Structure 1
Amino acid sequence: QLIDDIRKCNIPIADGKTLTQAMHSNGINMRYLSEIAERSLASENVITPNGTTLLPPMPQSIYELCEIEMIARSIKWIIRRSRRKNVAVRQTPASFIASLLNNTFQNSVETWNEICEHVKDHYNNFQIKIWGSSATMTNRAFPLALLRRICQISGIVINAREYKFDQEQKPAESEKKQDVIVQSDTIFKVTDIADVVPVVKSSIPEWPITEARDCLETAKVHLAQKEFVKAYERANEALNLVTQVTGSAHLTVATCCSFIGTILHHL
């Protein structure tokens, strides 16, 4: 059902965070990311027997987001493990994080073997296709999107500047330090790591008014049944309710506006 909703644009997926929220709201554990990824890839270009393409096709970004999410979670696990085992990493995490990011984006074989192994173990033997030293779909790699999600999920704050991701790894110039390979020609410097902050789940309810959430859920049902006018009315009601409570600058307002845009797209 989630795959169908994404294909029909009933659920807007913009990044790894919204993908995670969509899976959780549908009662799907994150270990099934691999299933979402494989079905998304298979649904990108579905051809019927008469040679026509089934519409709507799955956006290519969904598969890419699934891989990014699995990789970012694996890197978070590597950071947590290193912090537990290595006192130096706990005391001065910036050098370790900079080295790990360099190894990730400069395709260190050792680092990517570890990432791929973690992905296989935790996501049903999933094979990464876009990223890493043995990738087969590198033309679909967007380094900034991966970097953003790694920072989000691991609590890393980096300085804003233009990072040159096209630098290649030079194994001959590498040296072993803190269980990672440190490059002489690096994308990230230690000074680029501005801070590392804890990532916690908020205790604030996602919807400040449950009536608005119920209205939006009803609108989704109407949209699935192609009752666009009713869907628009209920979504607009949800928008009015949350705006009265929170004002216009709130995530739920953006959610309602996004869904109204989806409805108007179908009209």
Structure 2
Amino acid sequence: MRVTPRDSNYIGLQHRFCVLRPELVASFVEAESIKKSPTQKVPDVPTELNGQESDDIASGSDATAASVEEHDKSDETPVSTPAESNDSTAEILFNPNVFTEYKLAGSPEEIEADEALVKKVGSYLLDTVIPKFVQDLCSLDVSPMDGQTLTDVLHSNGINVRYLGKVAGLIKHLPHLWDLFSAEIIVRSAKHVVKDILRQSPDHNIAPAVAHFLNCFFGKVLAASTKGSTGSPQSKTQKKSSQSASSKKGQSAFSQLTSDGVWSDIKEFAKHKYQFEAPDDVRVGAKRVAVLRNLCQKVGITIAARKYDLHSTTPFQPSDILNLQPVVKHSVPTCTDARKLMEAGKIRMAEGTLNEAYALFSEAFSLLQQINGPMHKDAANCCR
């Protein structure tokens, strides 16, 4: 069930699950209410300058008398109630069923108005929200450190993760942000590739399949040379043996993967979903330890705690894959005020004002203790 309308920038059957975030809808409604709010304008009163001092004094006395009368009248004028000021906000209503395959109720004019409003939100996202977010990144008002904080910052600004490529194209001049965005896109694309491999692998081959994929992803796995005689007649026993061999090949289809093939699939997926052109040196320039950690967290892979030579040809063995856990999305309660205090503390720490940073972190920690308790990841991050 949708509570927000479809994203007008992603229309089609392949994008039927692309909806707008509630933070974006709230920001758009607030911006529209500010535009529609009545503004009082004070008209300019022309004055004639005379050379005589008596005329200036008389005009000054008249002006003071007029101002006193206007002040008395302003006291008698009624003050606008909040209900009247919120009328413009209450009129902004969205139809969550627009741009879907369902038949909409209402007149064609109403349907067209609903679609125009949703398109306006999509334009607001591309023309206002994303440039403002890029400006905050450039001015260090927002400083994501890893993939999780980057996702949280995007969601708090009302930007979906599918716009990672759009944002990455605007921060190419910032190397640290470019590395973070490109690594996040590569990891998310690799997650879908490895999930497709796991769906085709039997349960007893999960560890070898994951290890082989990681070797293709970080190492250099070449295609296995297969040589066989063709054109010679085969007996029944030979046919049975070939059928058993083909069944084994079907069970171990992951063994046919190569590094070039895996990276080709990753780049193709990144271009299709995120509109991101992965550079040729993305395999060399990526921080491999951070990418490995991020990929294992997103897929649910548990590997052995040892030092891996990620620059070797096959750095992983099937015995290194200890477990594969399901990753389930769920709602985690968060404290917005504490998050803002933590971000402000990080900015103060980067500026070198440690006393102000300590005060902000202490206030954030006290809020987290009262709301979420000590056993919460934000409380741990605050004490880090």
The reply to whether residue 68 of structure 1 matches residue 196 of structure 2 is no
Please give the TM-score of this superposition, normalised by the length of structure 2. 0.48
Residue 219 to residue 164, structure 1, CA distance change in 2 (3 Å): closer
Give the conservation status (yes or no) of the 8 Å contact 1:155–1:197. Answer: yes
Residue 61 to residue 129, structure 1, CA distance change in 2 (3 Å): farther
Q: 2:311 matched to which residue of 1?
A: 166
Deviation at 1:164, TM superposition (A): 0.8
Find the partner of 1:114 among 257, 265, 278.
Answer: 265
Partner Cα separation in structure 1 for residue 319 and residue 293 of structure 2:
18
Give the conservation status (yes or no) of the 8 Å contact 2:134–2:171. Answer: yes
Q: 1:243 matched to which residue of 2?
A: 369
Find the partner of 2:293 among 139, 144, 148.
Answer: 148
Find the partner of 1:188 among 282, 300, 316.
Answer: 316
Q: 1:98 matched to which residue of 2?
A: 211
Residue 218 to residue 196, structure 1, CA distance change in 2 (3 Å): closer
Give the conservation status (yes or no) of the 8 Å contact 2:134–2:167. Answer: yes
Partner Cα separation in structure 1 for residue 288 and residue 337 of structure 2:
40
Give the conservation status (yes or no) of the 8 Å contact 2:201–2:209. Answer: no
Give the conservation status (yes or no) of the 8 Å contact 1:20–1:30. Answer: yes
Q: Root-mean-square deviation (CA), in Å?
A: 3.3
Deviation at 1:198, TM superposition (A): 0.8
How many aligned residue pairs are there? Answer: 210
The reply to whether residue 39 of structure 1 matches residue 190 of structure 2 is no
Give the conservation status (yes or no) of the 8 Å contact 2:171–2:177. Answer: yes
- Which amino acid in the other structure matches residue 163 of structure 1? Y
Task: Point out the structure with max Rg over C-alpha.
Answer: 2
Give the conservation status (yes or no) of the 8 Å contact 2:304–2:320. Answer: yes
Percentage of matched positions with identical amino acids: 35
- Which amino acid in the other structure matches residue 320 of structure 2? D
- Which amino acid in the other structure matches residue 121 of structure 1? H
Q: 2:161 matched to which residue of 1?
A: 30
Please give the TM-score of this superposition, normalised by the length of structure 1. 0.66
The reply to whether residue 253 of structure 1 matches residue 379 of structure 2 is yes
| Residue ranges of structure 2 left out of the alignment (5+ in a row) | 1-131, 221-258
